[in-house]
């Protein structure tokens, strides 16, 4: 889990530095760093600190949803666009332990015009799927 496979490259993006999910300038954020695979999927190797707990020892469900949303958003970003969540559905399959390494993966399912469908999952360090989501994202266009 701790290694970064050679085929994954750091994802360059122009997200605001204060983004709760990935912003380095947000002192209370998750500070997620994403890597891009050759197939345009995204990966994040992360450990959620206990400051984001719900029940002791477990990540809060809203934070789990945020992680999945952030990953799906980054998968859409691989298309070179910025989009916002219109709808998402989360399945919480197993508890996500705080302080434990996890792997987050996301990929585009399909795109139609400004609409982009994506899926994401959170995996334990042993490869078990802990949570998964699907979402619809709408491309932002300049005013």
**How many other CB atoms sit within 10 Å of the CB of residue 136?**
16
* Residue 40 covered by a domain: yes
Band the pLDDT of 9: cuts 50, 70, 90: confident
The boundaries of the domain holding residue 23 are 9-139
Instruction: Say if residue 71 is exposed, middle or buried (CB neighbours under 10 Å; 0-12, 13-18, 19+).
Output: buried
Examine the residue annotation and report whether 39 is marked as an active-site residue of this protein. no
Helix (H, G, I), strand (E, B), or coil: what is residue 62?
helix
Side-chain-facing half-sphere of 103: CA atoms under 13 Å? 17
- Is there a domain that residue 120 lies in? yes
Mean pLDDT of 94-107: 98
63 in a structural domain: yes
**2 inside domain:** no
18 domain residue, yes or no: yes
Give the C-alpha separation, 95 to 57, whole Å.
9
Q: Does residue 53 register a pLDDT over 80? A: yes
Residue 133 placed within a domain: yes
Within a domain: residue 53?
yes
Q: What per-residue confidence (pLDDT) applies to 1?
A: 40
The domain total for the chain is 1
Q: What is the CATH number of the domain that holds 55?
A: 3.10.129.10
Rg (CA), the chain: 14
Give the 3-state secondary structure of residue 27: coil
In tens, the pLDDT along 17-45 reads 788 888 888 888 898 999 999 999 999 99
Q: Which residues of 82-107 are buried (b: 16+ CB within 10 A; e: fewer)?
A: ebeeeebebeeeebbbbeeebbbbbb
Active-site annotation holder among 11, 69, 119, 122: 69
CA atoms within 13 A on the CB side of 23: 11
Residue 4 within a domain:
no
User: pTM of the prediction?
Assistant: 0.92
pLDDT digits (tens, 9 = 90+) for 121-143: 999 999 999 999 999 999 998 88
């Amino acid at each position: 889990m701790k290694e970064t496979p050679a085929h994954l490259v750091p994802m360059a993006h122009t997200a605001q530095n204060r983004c709760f999910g990935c912003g380095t300038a947000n002192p209370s954020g998750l500070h997620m760093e994403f890597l891009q695979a050759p197939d345009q999927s995204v990966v994040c190797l992360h450990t959620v600190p206990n400051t984001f707990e719900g029940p002791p020892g477990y990540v809060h469900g809203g934070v789990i949803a945020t992680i999945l949303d952030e990953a799906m958003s980054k998968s859409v970003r691989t298309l070179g666009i910025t989009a916002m969540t219109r709808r998402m559905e989360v399945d919480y399959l197993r508890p996500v332990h705080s302080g434990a390494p996890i792997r987050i993966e996301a990929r585009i399912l399909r795109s139609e015009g400004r609409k982009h469908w994506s899926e994401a999952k959170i995996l334990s360090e042993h490869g078990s799927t802990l949570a998964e989501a699907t979402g619809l994202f709408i491309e932002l266009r300049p005013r």
